[in-house]
Amino acid sequence: MKAMSWFGCAAILSMIPAGLVGCGSDTTTSSTSTGAGGSASTSTGAGGAASTGATTSGSSTSTGGAMLTSDAQTPPQGGVDVMKTWLATGDYKKWHCQAAEHASKDPSPHGVNRICSNDKLAGAGATGAFPVGAAGVKELWDTMGGKVIGYAVYVKTEADSAGGANWYWYEDNPTIPAPTGPIVADGFGTSGQALSICVNCHIKAGTTFAATARDFVFTQVP
């Protein structure tokens, strides 16, 4: 597997052991499709009821934005088991997905990966903040032509990103040892590794990577 690139995030993640996880996204080559339908719903957060699940090592379920009901276009926001069940349905594969896996591009630390954007993220145009419900799923591959071994997921739950606090962040990466992983993040970007790793790297999307990179998203697959 191609070595992960951490130098782009070194200053931000100086408190995290070298060679672990961090930020970023990748190229924008794509083949488009759309998803439909729905399945299980999750809970409401800041404005309502309890979260759907607990966290494991390295994760955070701090309340940020109001949680959205999950369906084929919206990943659940909280609970590792709930997220794994949702990912296993493969609904995200009907989104706007890159044609194939590819090597990461700085400042991404994710190695070989493939990214899918849901309808709201893909259809948001090239400028401006992303709408509520914009979401992406990044498949983490063991190698080119290999297999998917993990996922990174992000969902915007309020119109104001609030410095990343109103984005939900999830990463399951079996190559990352405890205590940082393998569940690197599972929560809103208000505290824990969802903040120190995910937000503190994705905040760079407004200044680096690609012309359409903004609002905590590096790659908007059209």
pLDDT at 52 over 70: no
Q: Is the pTM of this model over 0.85?
A: no
Please give the residue that has the higher pLDDT: either 193 or 36. 193
For the chain, list the domains and their CATH numbers: 69-222 (3.50.70)
Nearest to 184, CA basis, from 110, 133, 112, 116: 110
DSSP 215: T
**DSSP assigned state of 164:** G
For residue range 102-128, list pLDDT tens digits in order. 998 877 788 899 999 999 999 999 999
Measured between alpha carbons, how far is 39 from 133 in angstroms, rounded to an integer? Answer: 16
Residue 61 has pLDDT above 60, yes or no: no
The pLDDT confidence band at residue 23, using thresholds 50, 70 and 90, is low
Give percent of the chain with pLDDT exceeding 70.
Answer: 71
